[in-house]
Amino acid sequence: MTKTPDQSEIIARELTVRDEARLKIVRNRYRRRPDEIPLELVEDALEVCRGNMTKTAEHLDVSFARLASMVDKSPDLMVQTMRHRSRLIDKAEDVLESHLDQGDLKAATFTLKTIGKDRGYVERHEQNKEVKIEQKIDVRLDRLSSDQLRELRSIQQSAGTSDVITDAEYEDVG
């Protein structure tokens, strides 16, 4: 049994065919003079292409850079482009939310790493580098007092080093 298309599918197909036909007329009419393309036609092309600048430029037969320049110079085109991008972001957020509702761990991690930053969820890359600085000091142990030797031995033990004064040297001097 074949499914009959509902009214919205029929309207969507008619709009697509009509818009494509309108864009072909625009392309053919203004192929040689992209500077003379009326803003209304650029607005229509952006609407048909759902804000996709690359597709809009192709449909209007102008370069992407030329279309971007036209958009930058026209507040109306800029608003329209931003509105389309906002719709895309809304759709992406809806998909993300549905994945979060299903308990998708990747979606949760992505959310926390991006919009969760203001709550302290930031990915940190910690680098544990141990820097050891060695400096050789020649100390004549026989010239140190007993108190100085004890202090040196205490520093040595707290630092966990055994190469400053060996037990034998400490006993010999002390």
* Sequence-ordered list of residues with C-beta below 8 angstroms from that of 17, at least 6 positions apart, any chain: none
> Strand, helix or coil at 60?
helix
| Structure tokens that stand for 76 in this block | 């109306």
Exposed/middle/buried for residue 111 (C-beta within 10 Å: 0-12, 13-18, 19+): middle
Per the listing, tokens 């203001």 go with 118
pLDDT of residue 3: 53
pLDDT one digit per residue (tens) for the chain, 174 residues:
455 555 556 555 555 666 666 666 555 554 545 566 888 889 999 999 989 999 999 888 888 988 998 899 889 999 999 999 999 889 999 999 999 999 999 999 888 888 888 887 777 766 666 766 666 666 677 777 888 888 877 877 777 665 555 655 555 555
| CA 148/CA 88 separation, integer angstroms | 74
pLDDT at 32: 41
Q: Are 134 and 162 in contact (CB under 8 A)?
A: no
pLDDT at 52: 92
Residue 165, pLDDT score: 58
Q: With CA atoms as reference, report the closest residue to 80 among 111, 128, 36, 43.
A: 43
Residue 173 CB-density burial (10 A; 0-12 exposed, 13-18 middle, 19+ buried) = middle
* pLDDT value at residue 59: 87
pLDDT of residue 61: 84
Q: Tell how far CA 85 is from the center of its chain.
A: 16
